[in-house]
Structure 1
């Protein structure tokens, strides 16, 4: 059932009901990320007009017992099928880190199938798709080194990663996500035809602003780079300047105007 792929989604397709947000912002998680990362976004991104829908991948949250994906192509193929019933109103994609690549590939697959396209794509905390991930490959690290890598990025609370049961639950999906990232090759072909907004933290060791700016080459539409104070997870809890920027870019992409 497609609803298992989403958190915060109005599961009944069709015209928005009275009081239901008319816009959908599908949020694609970082490696090992779950839907809780986006909980506060629902309060801070104008909830009366933006429905924040977090993508829930196998191997986490309510899908903990499902085997995680390890390659981009089957993930995108299945995700597009889950999205099909929920493209019935204006929508946008927001992807952070690995999620930016998944969102980008999902948009390409929608176009190939002649399905509705997002009004814009937010690519956060990731170098452009044509910039390869440098070795060593993270998914090949030992468990201890993989944990150290995540801790160095401030990706999860240290106390959670130091608990054996938490590690046992987290590591399989985390390693699988890094395997997707390490083996990813971007789609060749036409550029996207809608706005792309590239976001970066000014102290992000994985995606310097100059690397994030390379997303300009992915679209023939409008493009902007925004740089925020912080590390790789500068956007945690949707700080005010970040939330304001997202809403401004949604308006520029004509999302709010179209919905009204």
Structure 2
């Protein structure tokens, strides 16, 4: 992957010269990476926020969304492989957690630097079946109603025909990718896995989060926060404080 293509995936990267670690952030289904950009200034300067920008949304809205998991994971791994000069952590919420897990496995299999930790948020472990029927091919009204119940996209967006037209292709592509994915068993990771969940998340319960422990030979930590599937946006959850504490603990004092 050349620098021009890499810049498409890392266009929202915010270089921080005092950084001791780089936090690669992967979005939820249909989501972009602006939410992670807003973390700058809310996390310490020692952490460089590096959102991954997927095709089909935000600054890449004119590009075709990628529905093939292997293709998407290969592209993400290729993009970040050129900026692994610092210790790094992979963070993903919902679909992003699945992507982070697969990227970590791909980096390991290619004998590239691997993450100091994987933080998976709002996602059941890869081997745990999804009990819900697929929604990716529902008619628009039914599909959008399912999305509305997750409370991740503002009603103002879902009520705007123009905005829905912009986000719908990527949203459907992401759901189809997640719903058709079949977990491929492989060697466990050896990095710590931190699993975060919402106490009121109707889709991802504690047992399905706790099952992530089966995917690492390293330490495993589970944390439950106030809020629903998008607890990371809930000011009651103390999510960012916990995230920084965990990052500081897993990376040690490198100042």
TM-score bracket for the superposition, by shorter chain length: over 0.9
Q: Unaligned stretches of 5+ in structure 2?
A: none
Q: Which runs of 4+ in 1 moved over 3 A?
A: 237-240
Matched, 1:136 2:136: no
What residue in structure 1 maps to residue 124 of structure 2? 127
Deviations 1:40-67 (A, max 9, x none): 3212221x10111111100001100110
Matched, 1:26 2:30: no
Deviations 1:207-250 (A, max 9, x none): 11121111010101010110001000000177672111111211
Displacement after TM superposition at 1:157 (Å): 0.6
Indicate if the aligned counterparts of 1:69 and 1:176 stay in contact, CA closer than 8 A. yes
What residue in structure 2 maps to residue 45 of structure 1? 43
Indicate if the aligned counterparts of 1:127 and 1:207 stay in contact, CA closer than 8 A. yes
Structure 2 Cα separation of the partners of residues 154 and 135 of structure 1: 17
Query: How many pairs does the alignment contain?
Result: 251
What residue in structure 2 maps to residue 153 of structure 1? 150
Question: Matched residue of 2:77: which SS?
Answer: helix
Displacement after TM superposition at 1:206 (Å): 1.1
Q: Give me the TM-score of the superposition, normalised by structure 1.
A: 0.92
Over 3 Å counting, the alpha-carbon distance change for 1:138 and 1:44 in structure 2 is same
Over 3 Å counting, the alpha-carbon distance change for 1:154 and 1:240 in structure 2 is closer
Residue pairs, 1:6-25, within 5 angstroms:
6-10=10-14, 17=17, 20-25=18-23
Q: Give me the TM-score of the superposition, normalised by structure 2.
A: 0.93
Indicate if the aligned counterparts of 1:41 and 1:237 stay in contact, CA closer than 8 A. no
Over 3 Å counting, the alpha-carbon distance change for 1:43 and 1:217 in structure 2 is same
What residue in structure 2 maps to residue 165 of structure 1? 162
What residue in structure 2 maps to residue 72 of structure 1? 69
Q: Unaligned stretches of 5+ in structure 1?
A: none
Indicate if the aligned counterparts of 2:226 and 2:236 stay in contact, CA closer than 8 A. no
- When the two chains are superposed, the root-mean-square deviation of aligned CA atoms in Å is 1.6
Displacement after TM superposition at 1:7 (Å): 4.4
Structure 2 Cα separation of the partners of residues 6 and 223 of structure 1: 29
